[in-house]
Amino acid sequence: MTSTVVASPQAARAVPAVVLTGLTKQFGRFAALRNVSAEFAAGRLYVILGENGAGKSTMLRAIAGLLRPTSGRVSVFGLAYGGSDSGRGILGQLGYMAHPSLLYDEMSAMENLIYSARLYGIDDEARCAAAITLVGLDPALNRPVGQYSQGMRQRTSLARALLHDPRLLLLDEPFSNVDVTSARGMVQLLSNMRDAGKTIFVVTHQARLLAQAADEFVWIHSGNIASRVTTLDLEMVQ
Amino acid sequence: MTISATPSAKPDATSRAVNLTSEPALRPESPAPSVLFATLMKDLRLEWRSKDAINSMLFFALLVVVVFSFSFDPTGDDARRIAGGLIWVAFLFAAVVALGQTWAREIRNQVLDAYRVSTAPANDLFLAKALGNFLFVSVLEVVMTPLFVVFYNLRVIGPAYLLPVIGLLGTWALVVNGTFFAAISLRTRSREVMLPLILFPISIPALLGMVEATKIILTGESSAKFWIVLLAVYDLVFTTICLTLFETVLDAE
């Protein structure tokens, strides 16, 4: 198993964070992704937009290695899935937050995070507590996650995704059911992480929240990238 | 709408973010025994809180004992000859209940995806699940065996010290395949039906070994060595096969 550790932020940004080459994913006759080819530079915050069923979450799951492409290729920081290390080198570098919480309802946030940390070889309760505090929750809260509000669960799920300090963050609807104040706090956190050199993909229907923080907006339509607009383009238009 | 990247507006949040990202051991190699142990402890903790598997297994096994005892005279001479079969069939049926529960927890909230995107080895998950199921079924056996002895008026005529050996080998045979096939049936629509349909036929050689070895020891008729060796070989072969194929099963869509 290999984990790639980056020497410097400059070197990290030289390699594209994600490269999709002819990526197609079919579920039976339905093509969720159609021959998508794109390159995403490192150290940027991408906002993925599109209608329901456009293929946003499928693209995120393919980048996370949770879906096997029908055809095409996904590579993350220069490593392709299905290589000699079966993608293990990639997995250590990405944090994934799905629409479902990926948490055990019967365990508290702290217990969930301690277990998640162990999956990455991290044995550090203080670090788990810091991650929970970072998303605005109380690590001492001893209630099972199943009794949390949806917004609290979303924030715990974000803490879980951040825990192992991934270089690439894939967030699917992170702000759904989160109150405005907490959502703004989450955006600020993501913005700071991007400034620290992380690459972040956010699938959302709440683009306004990320209007100030995003580097690029990517529109997905019918399983393909319809357009990509950088914040610089938008500023020039205005 | 003016869109531009904002500078860090909240010093507090920034400093906490730096704290989180500046720990030295962020991407260490995943030490295999630690993941296995953590997953096993997590499963035991969840079972301790819910008691889903253990309660349903105990109730099911108890029901089998009572129903069989109504079907024939449990104190008759034949009881000792068929008791081995009854015990293991009861344990097999009851184990299926527990096997389904362990994976059901992992698909709620798609928690299994969190494992799949981590660096943790697939086989650690499998072994933790199999060991957890082994413990649950062992608890069931410890509780139910005295009941069988009382209900069926059993006395051991053969070498009794071999019974725990048969128990350990037989239980592992049930849970190793059961854990594996429960994972396979996880993504099928009718997984409750699928699991016994796949598991029971493949367990026949092991079941035969357990039943025959137990019967021989209860009756003291001959040597159970052949059947114990058969069980050990069965365990070795199927544990190897399951460990070889589990990563493929875990990553299947």
Residue A59, domain member (yes or no): no
| pLDDT greater than 60 at residue B38 | yes
Residue A125, domain member (yes or no): yes
Mode of pairing for the β-strands spanning A224-230 and A79-80: unpaired
Give me A130's structure tokens.
């810091």
**Closest partner CB to A162 (pick from B20, B113, B121):** B20
Looking at beta carbons, which residues of chain B come within 8 Å of A105? 108-109
Q: Which domain holds residue A117?
A: 102-159
Residue A114, domain member (yes or no): yes
CA A101 – CA B221 distance, rounded (Å): 58
Residue A138, domain member (yes or no): yes
**Alpha helices per DSSP H over B3-51:** 11-21, 32-50
- pLDDT confidence tier of residue B205, bands split at 50, 70 and 90: very high
Residue A145, domain member (yes or no): yes
Strand partners, A48: A203, A218
* Residue extents of the structural domains in chain B: 32-251
Q: How far is CA A180 from the centre of its chain?
A: 20
Q: What is the pLDDT of residues A202-223, one digit of tens each?
A: 999 988 889 889 999 999 999 9
Residue A224: what pLDDT? 93
User: Which residue in chain A has the smallest CA separation from B23?
Assistant: A127
CB contact under 8 A, A188 and B21: no
Q: What percent of chain B has pLDDT over 70?
A: 85
Residue A7: what pLDDT? 44
The SS3 of residue A39 is strand
The SS3 of residue A216 is strand
- Name the strands in the sheet holding A199-203, side by side, starting at the edge strand that comes first in the sequence: A94-97, A168-172, A199-203, A45-50, A216-221, A224-230
CA A177 – CA A183 distance, rounded (Å): 9
Region A129-153 average pLDDT? 91
| pLDDT greater than 70 at residue A146 | yes
Strand partners, A19: A39, A75
Tally of domains in chain A: 1
User: Which residue in chain B has the smallest CA separation from A93?
Assistant: B27
Residue B4: what pLDDT? 32
Residue A85: what pLDDT? 54
- pLDDT confidence tier of residue A97, bands split at 50, 70 and 90: very high
* ipTM here: 0.88
Residue A155, domain member (yes or no): yes
- pLDDT confidence tier of residue B153, bands split at 50, 70 and 90: confident
Q: How far is A29 from chain B (nearest CA, A)?
A: 16
| Residue B31 vs residues A199, B25, B27, B37: alpha-carbon distances, Å | 27, 13, 11, 10
Give the residue carrying structure tokens 């479902």.
A100
Q: What is the pLDDT of residues B115-148, one digit of tens each?
A: 999 999 999 999 999 999 999 999 999 998 888 8
- Is the pTM for the entire model greater than 0.80? yes
Residue A222, domain member (yes or no): no
| Angle value at C-alpha A45, between A42 and A48, nearest 5 degrees | 115
Residue A128, domain member (yes or no): yes
Q: How far is A119 from chain B (nearest CA, A)?
A: 5
DSSP string, B131-181: HHHHHHHHHHHHHHHHHHHHHTT----S-TTHHHHHHHHHHHHHHHHHHHH
| Higher pLDDT, residue B217 or B235 | B235
